[in-house]
């Protein structure tokens, strides 16, 4: 690595004008060191050829090596790829955060982000782009305020070590350093590739999240981010919604996974067992209900769910009245009819309810299949 310039300025990240100062420096074609939750990054405008050439030269980077595109939020990242609910869900869960996510980018979106082909080539290769959304607010605001696409790579000191705290390891090659204290993790981001594998018939399979580089988060955390979570809701969570959960869990297991399911009740009390009749109807499905315990519907359960199915229209109305933000992801499990409460009925009542629930769950899962 060649000798680099000593930083010409330092400012504190908690200054109210820090994002604007950093963005102005980026727009002038300067290299700016900004805090992230992993290590400090060296940020620059992708459409400033002199800045890009300087950083590549000083860091010994190959000309064709793409740099990570920086975005202020998950929506900005999602806009780079063709519309895909699963991709959007993963990005909302992962960003802001210590992930560098490689996407199959939409050509028109890339051109909109960087009209100049040479600038696009700084961060996009072969139709793919690695996207990063750092946690520190000052950094995201600086990226948002910049007048063009911003890329970054880890900042290093004179010995080539990544910078965790610029006061202890002064970074080289920067015109401005924004001081935000020690980076929270002190290690690199987890690099993930999102893609849908092609099936034999030419269609695309379920979204995969492949870990390309170990970092802050383990592969099991990445896998969790890529799961669709379905919540079933009834009254007491001892009969109808537990059966829906069991039937869905069995269907998901048979279909190869990628989905988690749970259930709750709008009037439930925690800790009650499923009714004996529901246990009998769900025997052998998704592990059965012998160990089921009821759960009251909570705000956290609603937030965690990607899709919510209620057993009746009244359940849906009550859910939305309590949690208005759930309206966009909640609907009745069987659009054509309520599932009547079999509590207090005979075995035939439970069988009819179970048959209706099983069929409705199958249809809903088919709708959600990629």
Active centre residues (catalytic): 234, 240, 341
Q: Residue 339 is inside which H or E element, if any?
A: none
The Cα–Cα gap between 294 and 300 comes to 16
Q: For residue 151, which of 79, 219, 58, 49 has the smallest C-alpha distance?
A: 49
For residue 204, the tally of other CB atoms under 10 A from its CB is: 12
Cβ 356 vs Cβ 338: under 8 Å: no
Exposure string for 37-51, b = 16+ CB within 10 A, e = fewer: bbbbbbbbbbbbeeb
Burial per residue of 152-184, b for 16 or more beta-carbon CB atoms within 10 angstroms, e otherwise: bbbbbbeeeebbbbbeebbbbbbbbbbbbeebb
> CA end-to-end span of the chain, whole Å?
47
Tokens describing residue 269: 């009390």
Strands 68-70 and 128-132: parallel
């Amino acid at each position: 690595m060649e000798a680099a310039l000593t930083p010409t300025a330092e400012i504190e990240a908690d200054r109210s004008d820090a994002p604007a100062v950093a963005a102005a420096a980026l727009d002038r074609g300067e290299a700016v060191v900004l805090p992230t939750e992993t290590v400090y990054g060296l940020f620059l405008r992708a459409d400033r050829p002199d800045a890009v050439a300087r950083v590549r030269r000083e860091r010994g980077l190959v000309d064709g090596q793409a740099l990570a595109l920086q975005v202020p939020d998950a929506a900005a990242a999602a806009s780079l790829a063709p519309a895909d609910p699963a991709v959007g869900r993963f990005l909302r869960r992962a960003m802001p955060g210590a992930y560098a996510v490689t996407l199959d980018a939409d050509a028109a979106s890339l051109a909109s982000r960087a009209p100049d082909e040479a600038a696009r080539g700084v961060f996009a290769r072969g139709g793919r782009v690695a996207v990063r959304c750092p946690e520190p607010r000052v950094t995201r605001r600086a990226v948002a305020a910049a007048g063009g696409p911003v890329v970054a790579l880890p900042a290093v000191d004179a010995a080539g070590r990544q910078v965790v705290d610029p006061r202890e390891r002064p970074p080289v090659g920067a015109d401005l350093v924004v001081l935000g204290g020690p980076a929270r993790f002190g290690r690199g981001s987890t690099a993930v590739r999102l893609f849908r594998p092609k099936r034999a018939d030419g269609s695309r399979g379920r979204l995969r999240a492949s870990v390309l580089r170990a970092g802050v988060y383990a592969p099991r955390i990445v896998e969790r981010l890529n799961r669709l979570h379905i919540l079933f809701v009834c009254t007491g969570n001892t009969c109808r919604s537990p059966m829906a959960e069991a039937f869905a869990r069995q269907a998901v297991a048979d279909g190869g996974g990628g989905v988690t399911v749970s259930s709750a009740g709008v009037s439930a009390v925690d800790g009650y067992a499923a009714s004996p009749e529901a246990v009998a109807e769900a025997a052998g499905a998704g592990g059965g209900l012998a160990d089921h315990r009821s759960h009251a519907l909570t705000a956290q359960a609603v937030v965690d769910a990607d899709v919510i199915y209620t057993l009746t229209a009244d359940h849906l109305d009550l859910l939305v009245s309590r949690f208005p933000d759930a309206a966009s992801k909640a609907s009745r499990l069987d659009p054509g009819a309520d599932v009547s409460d079999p509590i207090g009925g005979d075995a035939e009542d439970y069988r009819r309810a179970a048959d209706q629930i099983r069929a409705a769950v199958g249809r809903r899962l088919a709708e959600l299949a990629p």
